[in-house]
Copies of this chain bind each other. A is one copy, B any other.
């Protein structure tokens, strides 16, 4: 059997609930011919097999061992074949100093794994088009992906910090910086992804103002010569923020820097109306990828069996596809999610009249029935 080790990072809030559902589905998936009782083992054998390693991360890790990304967690993640993360953060740690914030642990994990390319699909599910705040005729059929550079730019740029200027005023500062190496590799990922989709790539920058963006645009144009089958366009970030609302269907694949990607991918996800359905994949050239739902830790509904686990289930599908190359298994999960929606099962975030309201666990069980 093909054997994979998966690091599970349940994290905070609803993280543990949704990761638990996704784990059950991954496990079941490989067991579709194996006996029920095997599902309780961490490592099982049948065609493909998974070995899980659950580690502390985020606020939970701060509470348990004092830091948001313990060394053992990063080491385990690096040694595994793929990492599935639930969600991190919560009011409890919001006031913490920077090094003791759950978010800092996430940034350290991204950097530690070198996952420079963040793939965030925003798909309007036909079954859920009414939950978008955009008009139906604008939202329906939206199927785009944002490729966000994830380990560079202003998130990690040095120098950064605080100081006092010659007028005696304090200041805070950060550095937005991109090298040709960083731009070229994210551009290549974006062109490859676009090629497997509608072959339309829109690169978003602020090249009319920022030098970092000017270089970005120049390099993306260079790399384009390797992908003459992909249609490339450029858009300023302010315009992109508008166009996503005015006519989101114009986009197929979007590539952009870390901070613009943070903003635009969240914007793109909300227009789908079902943020509880959206997965993400963060990949490096070589090592293990990081897969996580795009929603947050939702501390207000944590532990109440209310969270929509489908974003994490779909992240597990991305893990199979992009992390392990198990395309068939990925499709099997995605098809099961569609079937479950078609049967009318809905968690409260996507519920509408006439549909069957279910909790996280039940939703997971229903997906299992369709796998």
Interface residues of A (CB under 8 A from B): 98, 101, 103, 107, 133-135, 138, 154-155, 157, 160-162, 165, 167, 169-181, 206, 208-216, 237-239, 241-242, 245-247, 259-260, 262-267, 269-271, 275
- Residues in chain B near residue A216, CB distance under 8 A: 172
Given the known A-B contacts A165-B179, A181-B167, A238-B262, are A174 and B267 also in contact in the complex, defined by CB atoms under 8 Å? no
Q: Is the interface of A mostly helix, strand, loop or mixed?
A: helix
Q: How far is the CB of A11 from chain B (nearest CB, A)?
A: 15
- Residues in chain B near residue A208, CB distance under 8 A: 101, 103
- Residues in chain B near residue A170, CB distance under 8 A: 179-180, 215
Residue contact A175 to B173, C-beta cutoff 8 Å: yes
Q: How far is the CB of A258 from chain B (nearest CB, A)?
A: 9
Residue contact A266 to B239, C-beta cutoff 8 Å: yes
Q: Can you give 25 A-B contacts (C-beta < 8 A)?
A: A98-B214, A103-B209, A133-B134, A135-B135, A161-B211, A162-B211, A167-B179, A171-B177, A172-B178, A172-B212, A172-B213, A172-B216, A173-B176, A173-B178, A173-B211, A176-B176, A237-B262, A238-B263, A241-B263, A241-B267, A242-B275, A245-B267, A245-B270, A245-B271, A246-B270
- Residues in chain B near residue A160, CB distance under 8 A: 210-211
Q: Which of B169, B178, B265 contacts A179 (CB 8 A)?
A: B169
Given the known A-B contacts A155-B209, A174-B176, are A242 and B270 also in contact in the complex, defined by CB atoms under 8 Å? yes
Q: Which of B101, B138, B212, B237 contacts A174 (CB 8 A)?
A: B212
Residue contact A154 to B210, C-beta cutoff 8 Å: yes
Closest to A156 in B: B209
Bound together, the chains give a CA A155 to CA B206 distance in angstroms of: 10
- Residues in chain B near residue A215, CB distance under 8 A: 162, 170-172
Q: Which of B154, B172, B211, B275 contacts A172 (CB 8 A)?
A: B211
Given the known A-B contacts A181-B167, A266-B238, are A174 and B172 also in contact in the complex, defined by CB atoms under 8 Å? no
Task: Pick from A103, A107, A157, A176 the residue with the most CB of B within 10 Å.
Answer: A176
- Residues in chain B near residue A176, CB distance under 8 A: 154, 173-176
- Residues in chain B near residue A271, CB distance under 8 A: 245
- Residues in chain B near residue A134, CB distance under 8 A: 133-135, 245
Q: How far is the CB of A187 from chain B (nearest CB, A)?
A: 14
* 11 more CB-based (< 8 A) A-B contacts, given A157-B173, A170-B179, A172-B214: A133-B134, A133-B138, A134-B134, A134-B245, A154-B210, A174-B177, A174-B212, A206-B262, A238-B263, A241-B267, A246-B270
- Residues in chain B near residue A138, CB distance under 8 A: 133
Closest to A248 in B: B133
Q: How far is the CB of A5 from chain B (nearest CB, A)?
A: 30
Q: How far is the CB of A162 from chain B (nearest CB, A)?
A: 6
- Residues in chain B near residue A103, CB distance under 8 A: 208-209
Q: Which of B247, B263, B270 contacts A237 (CB 8 A)?
A: B263
Residue contact B178 to A171, C-beta cutoff 8 Å: yes
Given the known A-B contacts A176-B173, A180-B169, A213-B172, are A266 and B241 also in contact in the complex, defined by CB atoms under 8 Å? yes
